[in-house]
């Protein structure tokens, strides 16, 4: 993040804290609920008014970091239905992110200060504030889950010796190397079950389709999940 972007976020920081707290209050006080709240914020900011207000641009940048961190937590641990408070306060969350390498990707890094990262987490915990002017993160959450599952299936196929090609899964891996390719090799599509506190029929159908070794059939399964 350049200095201009940092100043932009700092100028609307109190508003962001209120939005995160309000968004969290729209969902269950669980790790899964917090993920949905950040999906709300990312989508609302992306679909906001044009020209993009400073507050919406800042909400998008900062919420994306929270969203990716919560994805890492949910994919690595079986905590979807756990209370968000079980993961600790802002300082403890910041320490976990630092320890687990969540803040450092292959092509980008989190530019938020430790105090900002901790404050954002504490805002989610507080559930205090007003949500951004719209909702709709559930659809984005479903898209994220399906994308991760397809990338993981493609990644595992490449590890088994499948040829890299121009299919959707291979393009996703090429376009977004930071999203799942830095995960341990033992990660599999089934890890996306950890994003939800209970089984999802559409997700089970997707995972069954992704078992195919045919790249076109995997893409068809992804599209059948109503994300294409």
Backbone angles phi, psi at 111, to 5 degrees: -100, 0
**CB of 151 closer than 8 Å to CB of 180:** yes
pTM of the model: 0.87
Q: Name the DSSP class of 213.
A: S
Is residue 132 domain-resident?
no
132 alpha carbon, distance to own chain's centre: 18
Each of the 228 residues of the chain gets a pLDDT tens digit; together they read 556 667 778 889 999 999 999 999 999 999 999 999 999 999 999 888 889 899 999 999 899 989 988 998 898 888 999 999 999 999 999 998 888 777 765 545 566 788 999 999 999 999 999 988 875 556 888 999 999 999 999 989 988 999 999 999 999 888 765 554 455 555 789 999 999 999 999 999 999 999 999 999 999 999 998 654
Residue 175 lies in a domain: yes
Residue with token string 């292959």: 106
pLDDT of residue 138: 62
Q: Are 222 and 206 in contact, with CB atoms under 8 Å apart?
A: yes
Tokens coding 219: 């893409």
Residue 80 and residue 23: Cα distance in Å, rounded?
17
Domain co-membership, 15 together with 109: yes
> Are 56 and 144 in a shared domain?
no
Q: Are residues 8 and 121 in the same domain?
A: yes
CA distance 202 to 226: 9
DSSP 62-94: HHHHHHHHHHHHHHHSS-TTSBGGGG--HHHHH
Domain boundary among 79, 104, 126: 126
For residues 159 and 216, membership in a common domain is answered with: yes
Is 131 inside a domain boundary?
A: no
Tell me which DSSP letter residue 194 carries. Answer: G
Query: Tokens 């990262």 label which residue?
Result: 117
| Domain co-membership, 153 together with 97 | no
Q: Does residue 111 lie within any of the structural domains?
A: yes
Is the domain of 206 the same as that of 146? yes
Residues with Cβ within 8 Å of 96's Cβ and at least 6 positions away in sequence, in order, are: 87, 88, 102
Longest dimension (CA), the chain: 51
Residue 223: per-residue pLDDT: 93
Q: Are 21 and 126 in contact (CB under 8 A)?
A: yes
Work out the number of other CB atoms within 10 angstroms of the CB of residue 108.
11
Report how many domains make up the chain: 2
12 vs 34: CA distance, rounded Å: 21
Whole-Å CA distances, 64 to 43, 57, 79, 160: 10, 11, 20, 32
Q: Do 122 and 145 fall within a single domain?
A: no
Domain that holds residue 168: 137-227
In order, the DSSP letters of 131-154 are --S---HHHHHHHHHHHHHHHHHH
């Amino acid at each position: 993040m350049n200095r201009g972007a940092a100043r932009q976020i700092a100028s609307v920081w109190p508003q962001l804290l209120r939005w995160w707290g309000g968004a969290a209050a729209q969902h269950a006080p669980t790790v899964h609920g917090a993920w949905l709240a950040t999906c709300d914020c990312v989508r609302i900011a992306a679909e906001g008014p044009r020209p993009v207000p400073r507050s919406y641009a800042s909400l998008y940048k900062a919420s994306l970091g929270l969203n990716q961190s919560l994805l890492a937590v949910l994919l690595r641990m079986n905590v979807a239905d756990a209370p968000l408070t079980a993961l600790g306060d802002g300082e403890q969350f910041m320490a976990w992110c630092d320890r687990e390498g969540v803040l450092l990707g292959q092509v980008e890094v989190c530019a938020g200060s430790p105090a900002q990262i901790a404050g954002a987490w504490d805002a989610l915990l507080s559930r205090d504030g007003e949500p951004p002017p719209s909702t709709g993160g559930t659809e984005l959450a479903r898209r994220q889950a399906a994308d991760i599952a397809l990338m993981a299936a493609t990644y595992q196929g490449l590890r088994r010796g499948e040829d890299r090609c121009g299919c959707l899964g291979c393009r996703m891996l090429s376009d977004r190397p930071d999203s799942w390719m830095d995960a341990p090799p033992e990660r599999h599509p089934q890890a996306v079950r950890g994003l939800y506190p209970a089984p999802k029929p559409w997700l089970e159908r997707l995972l069954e389709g992704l078992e195919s070794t045919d790249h076109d059939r995997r893409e068809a399964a992804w599209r059948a999940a109503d994300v294409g």
